[in-house]
């Protein structure tokens, strides 16, 4: 079974000034991050502005990323779309592009009809068709739909569904899923803000926006916890709470890209309607770096 243990940055998609995809800058950012002992990368997650890209652009982003990702590091590809059909098509393209697994955000537009049975049917159809393993992605802040532990456990009852990235931050729910799903189901924290609490209840790692700009610090939390030094891990966790909130809940992808620019990576613009952060917010952000 594919092992997900470790830290994954959800890489932002690089755009040129005209908002076209910059494969060159995608590769350059990965080449820089390759110097850290990361388990791999999530391409086309929420920070990758997945919903802003055409089907063809998504394929080009995945291809550019795989060119720069060493074979010993994993490439997870976000393939969640509103329809089961489109999710399957994109998942097949991800496998062709070299993804080791696909991460599937739940459909959410027709919330009134997205029942437990609809979710299970959707994910199991994708898992049946996918040539690579499937990781469930729960992101209630963006979808407006927080899958329950019962939903996730029912979905997980498929041999090709190997784990969950949970960005909801409900550590009690994560612990319940880890306990009931069994040892072969792997849970990843969806934010550095609760990385240590998630690890403490059995998560195997994290997909962390902060790992794009502070990969060493995220890895330190993971490694120190793995070594059994809870006091040091707690201290490291506390230090990153404010910065993590700045590039996630507070100011989002535009702030993450601005931080990357400041640190010598390529952040570049977001796609509209996302707007760049103001000069006042940028000043506050840079004080945290």
**Residues involved in catalysis:** 165
Q: Which of 228, 152, 243 is nearest to 196 (CA)?
A: 228
Answer yes or no: are the C-beta atoms of 256 and 213 closer than 8 Å: yes
| Whole-number CA gyration radius for the chain | 18
Task: Kindly report whether the peptide bond that precedes residue 144 is cis, defined as omega within 30 degrees of 0.
Answer: no
Long-range Cβ contacts of 49-57 (<8 Å, 24+ apart): 49/12, 49/13, 49/253, 49/270, 49/271, 49/274, 50/78, 50/80, 50/105, 52/13, 52/270, 52/271, 52/274, 53/13, 53/21, 55/86, 55/89, 55/90, 55/93, 57/21
Answer yes or no: are the C-beta atoms of 73 and 6 closer than 8 Å: no
Phi first, then psi: what are they for 90, rounded to 5°? -70, -35
């Amino acid at each position: 079974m594919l092992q997900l243990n470790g830290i994954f940055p959800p890489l932002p998609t690089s755009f040129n000034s005209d908002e076209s995809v910059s494969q060159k800058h995608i590769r350059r950012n990965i080449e820089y991050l390759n110097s850290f002992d990361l388990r791999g990368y999530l391409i086309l997650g929420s920070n990758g502005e997945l919903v802003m890209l055409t089907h063809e652009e998504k394929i080009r982003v995945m291809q550019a990323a795989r060119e720069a990702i060493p074979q010993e590091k994993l490439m997870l590809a976000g393939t969640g779309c509103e329809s089961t059909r489109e999710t399957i098509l994109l998942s097949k393209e991800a496998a062709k592009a070299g993804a080791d697994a696909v991460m599937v955000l739940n459909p959410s537009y027709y919330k009134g009809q997205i029942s437990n049975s609809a979710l299970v049917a959707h994910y199991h159809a994708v898992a049946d068709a996918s040539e690579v393993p499937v990781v469930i992605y729960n992101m209630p802040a963006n979808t407006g739909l927080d899958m329950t532990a019962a939903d996730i456990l029912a979905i997980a009852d498929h041999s090709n569904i190997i784990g969950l990235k949970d960005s909801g931050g409900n550590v009690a729910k994560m612990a319940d899923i880890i306990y009931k799903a069994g040892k072969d189901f792997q849970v990843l924290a969806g934010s550095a803000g609760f990385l240590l609490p998630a690890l403490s209840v059995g998560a195997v790692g994290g997909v962390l926006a902060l790992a794009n700009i502070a990969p060493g610090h995220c890895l330190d939390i993971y490694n120190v916890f793995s070594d059994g030094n809870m006091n040091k891990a707690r201290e490291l966790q506390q230090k990153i709470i404010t910065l993590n909130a700045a590039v996630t809940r507070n100011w989002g992808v535009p702030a993450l890209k601005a931080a990357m620019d400041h640190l010598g990576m390529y952040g570049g613009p977001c796609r509209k309607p996302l707007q760049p952060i103001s000069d006042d917010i940028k000043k506050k952000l840079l004080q945290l770096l």
